[in-house]
Structure formats: C-alpha cells, structure tokens
Amino acid sequence: MTAHADAEILSAYLDGELPEGERRATELHLADCPACRARFESLGRAVASLQRLERAAPPAVLAQHVQRRIALAGSRAGALDRLEDRLRGLGTASPLLTLFAVILALASILYLFAHGIERHQRRSVPIVVPNPEAARQLNEALAQTEPPTVRAGGRLFTRSGDRWLERGLERDEAAGALAPTVTAADSPAGRELLGRLPWLGDLLAGAGGAVFRDGEAIVEIRGPTATPPPAAH
Amino acid sequence: MATAVVTAFVYESDLEIAERHRHGDAAAFDEIYARFAEMVYNLALRLASDPDEAADLTQEIFLRIYRHLGRFRGGSSLKTWIYRVALNHCRSRLGRRRPPTYSLTPVPGEPPPDVADGRRGPHERAEAGDDAERVAAALGRLATSFREAVVLRDLEGLSYQEIAEVSGVPVGTVRSRIARGRDQLRSMLETSR
C-alpha cells in the first residue's frame, strides 16, 4: 500500500471489519506512514470519546406515561391517537404495502385518464350531414390529384411522365426493373405494331409513348404518332 | 456452537414474549419495557439531542411496539426489531424539523447544549469537564444518516450487520457511513480543542 489509507479503511480496521489481506496491508502501512498513523490515532481518540459518553436512564415517570398512552389507545380517545400514530407512521410502512399503495394510485390515475380520453374522443366524432354537391366536388378534386388512367384495347393504362404505362407494370418501373424493347412509331417494327394494335395510335396521340405487354415481351413505342393530327382547314 | 445455541435460545425467548403479548398477557409488555426502555431512550436521546423530546419519542415508540408486537415473527432478534421500530419512528418525527446546530466552542452568555448524561447534575458535569458536551454537540452536528450509523455502532455497540438490518441499507453503506461520520466527528473534535 503506497497511497495513504482512506477514512473508510482506517475506520473498518479499527472495528476489525477488514478482510485478512486488507488488514495486514493496513497494518504494514500504518507502521511505515506517520501521517496515517496520526490520523488513525486521532480517529481512535474520537471513537473512545464517543464510547465514554455515559448512558442516561429514562425518566422514572416514563413507564407510567407509556401505560397511560396504552390505556388511552383502547378507549375512544385512543382511536384518534391511533390515527395520529398511523399518520406519523406513513413513512415507516412496510415497503410492500407502500409499493401496493403506489401501484393502486397509479392504476386509478391511468384509468381515469384513459376514461377521460375515451369520452373526449366520443365527443369529438363529427356529425356528417349528407351534401351531394360537396361530395361531387370532393370526387373531382380527388380525380385531379390521381394520375390519369385510360382504357385502350381492353387494357388499363396509367400516365407516367410523358408516356402511358400498362396497369401491372408500375411496380417493376418503380423498382427500376422495367426494361422494355423500345420501338419508334415510324420504324417498320413500329408501323407493324400500330397496324396490329390500332388502339396504340389513340394512346400516342396524347403522349410521347406507351409501354405495354406484347405477348411475353414488354415493348415501349415512342411517337411521333402514327395517327397524324387533324389537318387545319 | 455455543453461540448458535445461545442465539437460538434468545430468539425463542423473544418469540415467547411476543406470543404472550399476543394472548393478552400484560406482564409480557412490562417485561419488554423493562428490558428495552433504556436502550430506546438513549437512542432517541442521541438522535434528538434533547431529553424532553427523547422522552416523548420513547413513549410513542413503545406505543408502536405495543400495537405491532403481534407481527413480530422472529425473523430477527427482538432487540433488532425494536431498534428498527425506534429508528423509523425517530426518522419520521425528527425528519420534519431541522437538526439542531451547536457551536463547538462555548458562546458567552449561552448555556452549553443539554445533550449529555441525563442522570448527572450540573455540578458533576462541570467536574467531568466539557469533553462529553463537546462530543455530544459534535455528534448532533453530523448529517442524520452518519449520526444514526455512528450512534448505533459506537454508542449502542451493534455490529455492521445488525446496523444494516436496522437501517435497511447494505453493509457496505453502513461501513461507509460509519467511517464518514467518525471522520467528520474526529475533524470537528480536533478543531474544537
């Protein structure tokens, strides 16, 4: 032990409460360290002073007073005394009893809180008055916010950017997994498609292209449209 | 081995007294008062630092013992159980007021605090010098938890384990509180010499 012994070590050493190893180390340290030895001796003197304090005898009348309090405890006056005693003893109740009381109180608070919220929520439910005009306006607004959808050739197409996308291909497109064979509308393959699937012309009239299934293949046909715009008169 | 036999005998005796009290034997409580009144009064005196308050506390503590003795099941010795009741009651009562503070050096015109031996008169106390007064005053200045630990160890002579049971804290905490209380006391007594 090279550092000075702390107060807890010295105090436990004085009481013989140190484990054997620590006790020996402290003994050796005290033999070599005058500062710790002086402190230990000072501690010993303080404890000896405490132990020299004489014990006091309780006042002789105390026994009678206790007997009177006990007698009162059995009478009606004693009921108040018991109450007072219990109130005083609240802080000394058993930990289990205290824990139970705390849990009960918390559960009561939570129940009341939850019940209050439920009632509040019930009161908060709005009363809906049917209004067809408001419903129509709402539907129109919703329709405007949703991506446009058209039906062509018995298939559903949704607008995605400048092209129409056949319904069912959205997930692959979102995942970047859509790899269609791109065909220009004015190429021989494009003209072949437009001839075979005439509804493609309607789709390409209002968009830059259309992506659709053609058998097992996924094809994208890009404008210009096969159907020329109406001539100006 | 002999200690174990004696301990078992003491515990059985404690239980017997509690059992007699449960069955309405008034002599059982008288016996308990006779055995423990001095112990309870001195604990209260050292914790309250006031003889009148110690007497009040002792009355209340014995009233509690009278009411709750029926619950004593011998899990500890009766002495430890009574110390626990007494300490809890003192904490409850004394925790509501500020601890008294005393000057360690005599203040002109002020009497020294009356916290020493209640049996001795002023003349005897004067003859014994002011050492006991200084020690009692220093004890009264310790923080409550340190004072409790030091009183139970150095004045009541309880072991660390018994103090842990009475105080409801681990033995390590008891060791630390005793050490810190003693060290503060040592420091106060040295500076007041």
Do residue A46 and residue B182 have CB atoms under 8 angstroms apart?
yes
In a domain, A162, yes or no: yes
Cα dist from B73 to B22, B59, B187, whole Å: 11, 23, 43
Count of structural domains within chain A: 2
Model pTM above 0.90: no
Are residues A88 and B93, on separate chains, in Cβ contact within 8 Å?
A: yes
Q: Which residue range(s) make up the domain with A215?
A: 146-222
Domain assignment present for A63: no
Q: Is residue A128 part of a domain?
A: no
pLDDT of residue B146: 96
- Alpha-carbon distances of B166 from A58, B138, B170, rounded to whole Å: 22, 23, 10
Closest Cα in chain B, distance from residue A8 (Å): 5
Percent of chain A with pLDDT over 90: 34
Cβ B185–A89 below 8 Å, yes or no? no
Q: Which residue has the tokens 């509501």?
A: B96
Average pLDDT over residues A209-227: 80
Point out the residue among A7, A51, A92 whose CB comes nearest to the CB of B89.
A92
Per DSSP, A3 falls in state: S
Best mutation target among B38, B59, B131, B184 (most A Cβ atoms within 10 Å) is B59
**Number of continuous H segments (helices) and E segments (strands) in chain A:** 10, 6
Smallest Cα distance from A9 to chain B, Å: 8
The verdict on a CB contact (< 8 Å) between B38 and A55 is yes
Task: Tell me if A88 is assigned to some domain.
Answer: no
Calculate Rg over the CA atoms of chain A.
48
Asked if A43 contacts B185 with a C-beta cutoff of 8 angstroms, the reply is no
What residues in A contact B89, CB-CB < 8 Å?
88-89, 92
Nearest to A69 among B51, B55, B63 (CB): B63
Nearest CB partner across the interface for A56, out of B91, B95, B119? B119
What's the token pair of residue B29?
């409580």
- Chain A environment of B186 (Cβ under 8 Å): 42-43, 45-46
CA B119 to chain centre: 17
Q: How deeply is A88 buried, as exposed, middle or buried, from its count of CB atoms within 10 A (0-12, 13-18, 19+)?
A: middle
Q: Give me the pLDDT at residue B90, please.
A: 93
Residues of A in contact with B42 (CB under 8 A): 55-56
Q: Does some domain include residue A93?
A: no
Q: Give me the residue label for tokens 């009363």.
A: A127
- Kindly report the nearest CA distance between residue B111 and chain A, in angstroms: 19
Structural domain includes residue A212:
yes
The 10s digit of each residue's pLDDT in B110-148 is: 444 444 444 445 555 544 557 888 999 999 999 999 999
What tens digit of pLDDT does each residue of A111-167 get?
887 776 555 555 544 444 556 676 666 556 655 656 788 888 889 988 888 889 998
- More confident position, A189 or B129: A189
The two three-digit tokens of residue A77, written as one number: 């006056």
Quote the tokens at residue A127. 């009363």
For B167, the token pair is: 């105080």
What number of C-beta contacts closer than 8 Å exist between A and B? 133
Residue type at B150 in one-letter notation: V
All structural domains of chain B, each given as residue ranges with its CATH number in brackets, are 1-95 (1.10.1740.10), 107-193 (1.10.10.10)
pLDDT for res B186: 94
Whether the complex's predicted ipTM is more than 0.90 is answered with no
Instruction: Give the residue carrying structure tokens 């005439």.
Output: A198
Sheet with A217-222, side-by-side order of all strands:
A149-152, A155-160, A163-166, A209-214, A217-222, A181-184
- Which of B55, B46, B145, B144 lies closest to B99, judged by CA? B144
Which pLDDT belongs to residue B72?
Answer: 87
For residue A210, list its beta bridge partners. A164, A221
In a domain, A122, yes or no: no
The residues in B 97-116 lying below 8 A from A, measured between CB atoms, are: 116
Task: Report yes or no on A172 lying in a domain.
Answer: yes
The CA-atom distances, in angstroms, between B51 and each of A65, B45, B93, B96 are 15, 6, 15, 18
